[in-house]
């Protein structure tokens, strides 16, 4: 038996598409978020970035508007990454935070939450569990874990209702006792409806963990449909994904995914019932790069014209050919059709295991009615390509079923 998802998990699944933001001191160097580690930058030298951190271009509400334009329903922002620098007021736990940075003096997480709320976007917090700055991480680990819990309690009590917390770094000490029960108890006490995620990393995609975890992660890899049969709890899935090769800004990383690739990736995630958490790496001043803005706007154009069904429609047993697949929302079936430009006008696409009689089929972008035949559970649809002057990469057809 498959368990029924808790309300917060069901709502998280229906958000479908979110923005990931990696922003910190490393953004000033423009060589990725792990630059301190890979270049072995000494603490004294790296910590000078604290003195020059100036987020003058960080406009939280503008970022939330961009996410909304892209069709995203939530944003997960790095409140603290592995470098140990916090974008929020740690309330005396550390001076290594944005409000103490001489060229900042701002609580960027307060601004972030306010900006999201103003635009109807759900704010979520990334928080590292691996810390290169805090000496107790490799010295007095129990003391470090208390520091971590106290930090998370600040986030859970000072910013109103939040959508969830997204942890990352337990993989750095695989044999350690991270006292996860204590950490998650802090969240459940103050934010009972928050989604809890703990990234299992590149080597353990899709792995479940502590009973409080609400979603598994697929970092930089296409998700597979989850087998929830016999699970004690329904767990969601989310794939986090970069636009190029880095999470933090890489000024010379020009290896951006194409817009068609990103559209197909979003579709592939929804085919597996997973959310897509698509990353942006702001510039040193906190502004979003123009190329990232353009790609996100393109994603929004696709959703508005073709893919509005991605939020509510769920994976089903209907099987398409090749990359084609179907999602279902009650008495409606949505057929996701790939490579129509090469198929030619009037190509027939076949879908099997269709339960219910098809009454009508139309394209979602222009309501064009499609010819079809159905024999038992096999549905054959005549699928004209895109009209001249258009190409949405993946075209969606809506099937009205009599159930």
Return d(Cα 196, Cα 216) in angstroms, integer.
10
**How many C-alpha atoms does 249 have within 13 Å on its Cβ side?**
21
pTM for the predicted model, two decimal places: 0.96
**How many C-alpha atoms does 199 have within 13 Å on its Cβ side?**
25
CATH number of 314-402: 3.40.50.150, 3.40.50.11740, 3.40.50.720, 2.60.40.1180? Answer: 2.60.40.1180
Fold of 7-310: TIM Barrel (3.20.20)
Strand 314-319 to 325-329 pairing? antiparallel
Return d(Cα 92, Cα 99) in angstroms, integer.
11
Give the torsion sign (CA, 87, 88, 94, 99). Answer: positive
Tens-digit pLDDT string for the chain (403 aa): 889 999 999 999 999 999 999 999 999 999 999 999 999 999 999 999 999 999 999 999 999 999 999 999 999 999 999 999 999 999 999 999 999 999 999 999 999 999 999 999 999 999 999 999 999 999 999 999 999 999 999 999 999 999 999 999 999 999 999 999 999 999 999 999 999 999 986 665 667 889 999 999 998 888 888 888 888 899 999 999 999 999 999 999 999 999 999 999 999 999 999 999 999 999 999 999 999 999 999 999 999 999 999 999 999 999 999 999 999 999 999 999 999 976 656 689 999 999 999 999 999 999 999 999 999 899 999 999 999 899 999 999 999 999 7
Residue 346: burial class (beta carbons within 10 Å; 0-12, 13-18, 19+): exposed
206: left (phi over 0), alpha (psi -120 to 50) or beta: left
Pair 126, 86: CB distance under 8 Å: no
Domain extents for the chain?
Answer: 7-310, 314-402
The set of residues, in sequence order, having a beta carbon less than 8 Å from that of 330 and lying 6+ positions away, is none
């Amino acid at each position: 038996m498959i368990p029924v998802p808790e309300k917060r998990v069901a709502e998280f699944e229906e958000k479908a598409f979110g923005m990931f933001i990696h922003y910190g001191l490393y953004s000033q160097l423009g060589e990725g978020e792990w630059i301190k580690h890979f270049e072995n930058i000494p603490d004294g030298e790296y910590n000078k970035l604290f003195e020059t951190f100036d987020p003058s271009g960080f406009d939280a509400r503008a970022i939330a508007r961009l996410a909304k334009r892209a069709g995203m329903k939530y944003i997960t922002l790095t409140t603290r990454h592995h470098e140990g620098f916090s974008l929020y007021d740690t309330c005396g736990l550390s001076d290594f935070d944005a409000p103490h940075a001489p060229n900042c003096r701002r609580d960027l997480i307060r601004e972030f939450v306010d900006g999201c709320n103003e635009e109807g976007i759900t704010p979520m917090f990334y928080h590292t569990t691996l810390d290169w700055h805090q000496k107790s991480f490799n010295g007095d680990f129990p003391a470090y874990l208390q520091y971590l819990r106290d930090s998370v309690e600040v986030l859970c009590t000072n910013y109103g209702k939040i959508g969830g917390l997204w942890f990352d770094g337990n993989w750095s000490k695989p044999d350690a006792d991270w006292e996860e029960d204590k950490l998650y108890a802090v969240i459940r006490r103050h934010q009972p409806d928050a989604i809890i995620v703990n990234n299992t990393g590149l080597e353990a995609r899709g792995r479940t963990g502590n009973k409080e975890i609400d979603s598994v992660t697929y970092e930089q890899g296409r998700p597979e449909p989850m087998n929830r049969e016999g699970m004690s709890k329904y767990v969601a899935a989310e794939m986090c994904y970069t636009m190029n090769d880095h999470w933090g800004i890489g000024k010379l990383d020009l290896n951006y995914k194409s817009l068609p690739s990103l559209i197909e990736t979003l579709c592939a995630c929804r085919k597996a019932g997973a959310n897509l958490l698509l990353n942006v790496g702001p510039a040193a001043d906190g502004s979003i790069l123009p190329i990232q803005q353009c790609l996100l706007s393109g994603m929004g154009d696709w959703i508005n014209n073709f893919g509005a069904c991605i939020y509510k429609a769920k994976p089903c047993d209907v099987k398409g050919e090749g990359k084609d697949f179907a999602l279902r929302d009650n008495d409606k079936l949505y057929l996701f059709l790939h490579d129509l430009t090469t198929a030619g006008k009037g190509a027939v696409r076949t879908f099997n295991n269709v339960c219910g009689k098809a009454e009508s089929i139309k394209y979602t972008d222009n309501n064009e009615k499609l010819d079809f035949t159905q024999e038992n559970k096999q549905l054959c649809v005549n699928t004209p390509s895109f009209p001249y002057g258009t190409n949405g990469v993946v075209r969606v057809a809506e099937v009205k079923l009599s159930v």
